[in-house]
Structure 1
Amino acid sequence: MKTMKLGTSSLEVPVVAVGCMRINSLGKAEAERFVQASLEAGANFFDHADIYGGGTCEEIFAEAIHMNDDVREKIILQSKCGIRKGMFDFSKEHILSSVDGILKRLKTDYLDVLLLHRPDTLVEPEEVAEAFDQLATSGKVRHFGVSNQHPRQIDLLKKYVKQPIVANQLQLSITNTTMIASGFNVNMENDAAVNRDGGVLDYCRLNDITIQPWSPFQYGFFEGVFLGNEKFPELNKKIDEVAAKYDVSNTTIAIAWLLRHPAKMQPVTGTMNIGRLQDCIKASDIYLTREEWYEIFRAAGNILP
């Protein structure tokens, strides 16, 4: 699989990340096969969060990959923290304790990347900076990023945090394109013109922050997948047409659509199906034409002014 630099770091990562939110749906043997198949396909970047399965997903992953020093050197681990039951928490105490828990469950001494999961309006960025400094100095975390944050929230952190923000994990798919659509509809009086994220797409490009699209096959907020869905007949017809041209699956084209964007995004898959993961990985070899990209965009119901 093709690789890319994560943000401004020197960390070389696969262009497709393996999301592990659903690994607790697999049995022990299934989880082992899935992780092994990922590695064999060159997908060695694994995305976690301390809330996935209440922490069990990290434990299951560590068991499935048979974590040891030799294995650890061959993989890239990212996890997220900051979500607690009924609240968000970016306090120094919570960040530090969360990382200790993550490391224990993953059976490792360090994370390659730590993301702050969802914005905490009670954040005191000075505390975040202290936590990041302590984690970096101790070697527990090598790179830092955020998730679901708009530009001003990132700027607030950057005012105090010394470490570069290398990634921002955001919801983005062919049917969830507000961050793209608003850029087309500048100064227009329609719903697509509403700027809901502070121009986060261009902001991340300007600041060399890697966007990691999550739920790349979902429409709405976890309402279901759009591939093969009768709610999206025109979109599926177009995707299938393009897939036939390249002799790949519709899954591959959905990921290739994201990779075609010059922002150099790193989609995070969520599938636990080995065949579907392999289809996602094949997208790194597909380069859609400008015409194909726009045809798919319009087929999803998106309009151009």
Structure 2
Amino acid sequence: MGLGGTWDTTEYGTAEIERAAAALEAALDSGFTWFDHADIYGRGKAEAVFGEVVARWPGLRERIVIQTKCGIRLPGGDRPGLYDVRRDTILERVRESLRRLRIDYLDVLLLHRPDPLADPAEIAGALTLLHEEGLVRQFGVSNMSGQQIGHLHAHLDLPLVANQLEMSLHRRDWLEAGVLVNTAEATSNGFPLGTLEYCREHGIALQAWGPLAQGRYTGRPETAADDNAAQLVASLAAAKGTTPETVVLWWLQRHPAGIAPVIGSKNPDRIRACRDAVTGQPRLTHEEWYDLWIAARGAPLP
């Protein structure tokens, strides 16, 4: 999301390309091969500078998975931002992303946000056409509930391979929805119960955006609970010979849903700090996982 510079212009220069190259090199050195984009990031500049790097790096395209998203229209003039996953919009946005990324096909396309006016049969038609034309190999969604995914599934013969949600040690509603049943707290949770279960039953991978929680547990705590959890994170990292960032990611990866964190940083040092999480084998015990959860909650479990 941060590649390409600020969001107040569509222009970028050599410096932004070099920063993208440094981030990409750090990611590859750390074992990351899956790269997540969206057509709106940096008003298109994130895809564009990434595409510049790919075009200048012989053989890189074959080594990586490129995923992007469409479905959000940014504010413009007097018009507010809105969601748009109509057939023609999807087709147009995908072709624009391919041009910016300088590639012939996308490995994965996600629908960025649910559009209340969307016709699922029309969406399915657009995705099927993109697949038949060889422009997109696989499809998924972002920020959708299990019921919304099921509604789309009913009109689509192609499988959906991913659902990207905000998930972290700080953003825990996806987790707590399942344990707050029959408690007073359940009414304020808001996360659609059954979404994780639907994804697991249908082979839909869960991708976590914002998994590092903007550094709340790795140097930028905002509350007393954050500070307590951060101290525990640091202690576990020291004991296990890794970084605090890795421990925070391990907490997500320890969940049996097989959550894949999407590292949002463009900082090479921060990217490299996550390298021990690439193996997907979190070294947290059952008790350590719960200790982190309770510390971050700032209150005992119900």
TM-score band by shorter chain is 0.7 to 0.9
Structure 2 residue runs of 5 or longer lacking an equivalent are 6-14, 75-80
**Is contact 1:181-1:193 (8 Å) kept?**
no
For 2:53 and 2:59, locate their aligned partners in 1 and report how far apart those are by CA, in whole Å.
Answer: 15
**CA displacement at 1:69 relative to structure 2:** 7.2
Residues 42-51 or 178-187, more deviating? 178-187
The alignment status of 1:215 with 2:204, answered yes or no, reads no
The alignment status of 1:304 with 2:298, answered yes or no, reads no
Structure-2 residue corresponding to 1:147: 142
**CA displacement at 1:73 relative to structure 2:** 1.2
Structure-2 residue corresponding to 1:294: 290
**CA displacement at 1:195 relative to structure 2:** 4.7
| Counterparts of residues 19-168 of structure 1 (less than 5 Å) | 21-25=1-5, 27-66=16-55, 70-85=59-74, 86-168=81-163
**CA displacement at 1:65 relative to structure 2:** 3.0
**CA displacement at 1:111 relative to structure 2:** 0.3
- Specify the code of the residue in structure 1 equivalent to 2:163: N
Deviation string, structure 1 residues 33-62 (Cα, Å, up to 9, x no partner): 221222232211110000001111101001
The equivalent position to 1:273 in structure 2, one of 259, 267, 280, is 267
Partner-residue secondary structure (3-state), 1:213: strand
- Specify the code of the residue in structure 2 equivalent to 1:304: L
Q: Structure 2 vs 1, CA of residues 303 and 35 (structure 1 numbering), >3 Å: closer, same or farther?
A: same
**CA displacement at 1:113 relative to structure 2:** 0.2
**CA displacement at 1:67 relative to structure 2:** 5.2
The alignment of Structure 1 onto Structure 2 pairs a total of residues equal to 281
Structure-1 residue corresponding to 2:218: 227
Residues 41-50 or 63-72, more deviating? 63-72
Structure-2 residue corresponding to 1:255: 249
Deviation string, structure 1 residues 218-262 (Cα, Å, up to 9, x no partner): 27xxxx744321522211111111111111111111111111111
The alignment status of 1:196 with 2:174, answered yes or no, reads no
**Is contact 1:183-1:193 (8 Å) kept?**
no
- Specify the code of the residue in structure 2 equivalent to 1:99: V
**CA displacement at 1:295 relative to structure 2:** 0.2
**What TM-score do the two structures reach when normalised by structure 2?**
0.88
**Is contact 2:130-2:136 (8 Å) kept?**
yes
Partner-residue secondary structure (3-state), 2:117: coil
Q: Structure 2 vs 1, CA of residues 68 and 135 (structure 1 numbering), >3 Å: closer, same or farther?
A: farther
**CA displacement at 1:303 relative to structure 2:** 3.8
For 2:85 and 2:189, locate their aligned partners in 1 and report how far apart those are by CA, in whole Å.
Answer: 29
**What TM-score do the two structures reach when normalised by structure 1?**
0.87
**CA displacement at 1:180 relative to structure 2:** 0.6
Identity rate, percent: 40
Q: Structure 2 vs 1, CA of residues 67 and 141 (structure 1 numbering), >3 Å: closer, same or farther?
A: farther
Q: Structure 2 vs 1, CA of residues 194 and 39 (structure 1 numbering), >3 Å: closer, same or farther?
A: closer
**CA displacement at 1:68 relative to structure 2:** 6.8
Structure 1 residue runs of 5 or longer lacking an equivalent are 1-20
**Is contact 1:182-1:192 (8 Å) kept?**
no
Q: Structure 2 vs 1, CA of residues 101 and 69 (structure 1 numbering), >3 Å: closer, same or farther?
A: farther
Structure-2 residue corresponding to 1:5: none
**CA displacement at 1:191 relative to structure 2:** 4.3
For 2:141 and 2:188, locate their aligned partners in 1 and report how far apart those are by CA, in whole Å.
Answer: 25
Q: Once superposed, what is the RMSD of the aligned Cα atoms? A: 1.8
For 1:110 and 1:303, locate their aligned partners in 2 and report how far apart those are by CA, in whole Å.
Answer: 48
**Is contact 2:217-2:227 (8 Å) kept?**
no
**Is contact 1:117-1:146 (8 Å) kept?**
yes
